Amino acid sequence: MTGRLLLAISALAIAMHVHADDWADGNAAFERGDYAAALSFFEAGRDSGLTGPAIHYNLAVCQYKLERYAEAGKTFEFIARKYPQMAGLAEYNLGLVSQRLGDTDAASEHFLRAYRLSPDDETIRVLASNQLADIEPEERPASAWSGAFGVRAGHDDNIALRDTAGIPLGVTTESPMLDIFASVSRPFSVQSVGLRFEGNLYGVRYFDADDFNQNEISAGVMYEWRPGSWRIAAGASAGAGWLGGDAFDRRIGLGVEGSRSLGGGASANLAYYYDDISEGNDIFNGIGGKRHHVVARYRQHFSDGRRVLVRLRHENNDRLDPGVSPTRTGLAVDYRYLPDAGWGFEAGASYRRSRFSDAAVSRTENLFSARSALTRYFIRDWILLIEYRYSNNDSSNPEFSYDRNTLTIGAMRAL
């Protein structure tokens, strides 16, 4: 273990007014290498009511330094389970514990989970990668699936995405709804670089308007490598969509992404995607063609569970039907605060400008969207989410101007 990681949590601002002496004495003892005394002070602070990830992390580190590996493992397991924001760091240290206990297979699994659970912590990813690289290939166990799953139920008041004043009487424009999504990933080896499989599934049901039901599925492979401080991934995928029970489209896609850490919990990502699209059922003739889009992302993660994400996207379509061939540019900003206990909050806003340049369908649209949500962990790693979304599309053709409101409650978790 490095000193930087051993006390990575010590700098967290936690409430210690009553237990300041135990905490300070524990840190002082640790700094001078008296790990037994440090452990006693930290245990006294914990037993007196000191809570939070920092006290448990420092207990685990002291147990590790004293070669009490079984106890250290249990404490790191508690941290990974109780404080999801710390799971990546805890899994890395569990890998070190497993190495000390001579269990190479378990160590590999912990290092792999540490890498996957730390997408924006380049320090953990590099350390986990180095540990995996030091394990002989024949000793590496088969890798596991990872991903996410979620389900939501609620109400959508404008599923047609049109000015409802112009919709004929008897045509449903609002409906209760249920949607579900799943994404999975599995590398073909436990190495943090190399080839991996990725798959995605999405479906939404509108109970009062079956014609608007949608399903999407895609699968592909990505190859990841690390030139210098960058993490690069490139690959290909195939996908299909259905609308109202009819085959909507078929897609073959190519993509390349580049990511790097900026330090201090910040990271940047640049990506380019290309899709070759063909229509499914003949009733959707005209949607076939090509789509290019580029995305730039900036993420900032904080140790207390806050996250800021900024996305800039540009998309260009070249379809057979000019009515579905817009050029779009958009900006989105999202904020999340998800503490390990209690309620969290999410908020976001986005703006997208679309231009349909063909003379037959010439129009410009400005779409503004906003969202807010309450979140909390409620069963193990499951996250409860109560969300409201609002959209306003201002089009130079009044037919395409609309407002939309959705209210949902759902749950999601990482696999």
pLDDT for 166 beyond 80: no
DSSP H or E segment with residue 74: helix 69-82
Backbone angles phi, psi at 25, to 5 degrees: -65, -35
* pLDDT at residue number 8: 43
Rounded mean pLDDT, 234-258? 97
pLDDT mean across residues, the chain: 87
- Please list, in sequence order, all residues whose beta carbon lies within 8 angstroms of the beta carbon of residue 412, skipping any fewer than 6 positions away: 148, 149, 150, 151, 382, 383, 385
pLDDT interval class at 130 (50, 70, 90): confident
Q: Please give the residue that has the higher pLDDT: either 21 or 162.
A: 162
> Which among 236, 142, 234, 146 is positioned nearest to 188, based on CA atoms?
142
Return the DSSP state at 400. Answer: G
Distance CA 158, CA 167 (A): 11
- Helix, coil or strand: residue 375: strand
Rounded mean pLDDT, 218-234? 90
pLDDT for 19 beyond 70: no
58 Ramachandran zone, left/alpha/beta (phi>0; psi -120 to 50) = alpha
Q: Please give the residue that has the higher pLDDT: either 9 or 27.
A: 27
Q: Highest mean pLDDT: which of 106-110, 141-145, 351-355, 382-386? A: 351-355
CA distances, 51 to each of 80, 88, 216, 292 (Å) = 15, 20, 44, 50
| Rg (the chain; Cα; Å) | 25
Rounded mean pLDDT, 135-162? 77
What type of residue is 391? Answer: S
Rounded mean pLDDT, 351-358? 95
Strand partners, 235: 222, 255
Percent of the residues in the chain that have a pLDDT greater than 70, as a whole number:
89
pLDDT for 229 beyond 60: yes
Q: Please give the residue that has the higher pLDDT: either 380 or 4.
A: 380
Torsion of CA 181, 187, 193, 198, to 10 degrees: -30
pLDDT tens column, 194-207: 898 999 999 999 99
* pLDDT at residue number 147: 83
Whether the Cβ atoms of residue 250 and residue 277 lie closer than 8 Å to each other: yes
CA distances, 153 to each of 156, 244, 411 (Å) = 10, 19, 10
pLDDT for 170 beyond 50: yes
pLDDT interval class at 15 (50, 70, 90): very low
Paired sense of beta strands 344-356 and 402-414, if any: unpaired
pLDDT tens column, 32-80: 889 999 899 888 888 887 788 888 999 999 999 998 999 999 999 999 8
What are the structural domains of the chain?
A: 3-139 (1.25.40.10), 146-414 (2.40.160.40)
DSSP H or E segment with residue 229: none
Paired sense of beta strands 194-206 and 214-225, if any: antiparallel
* pLDDT at residue number 51: 80
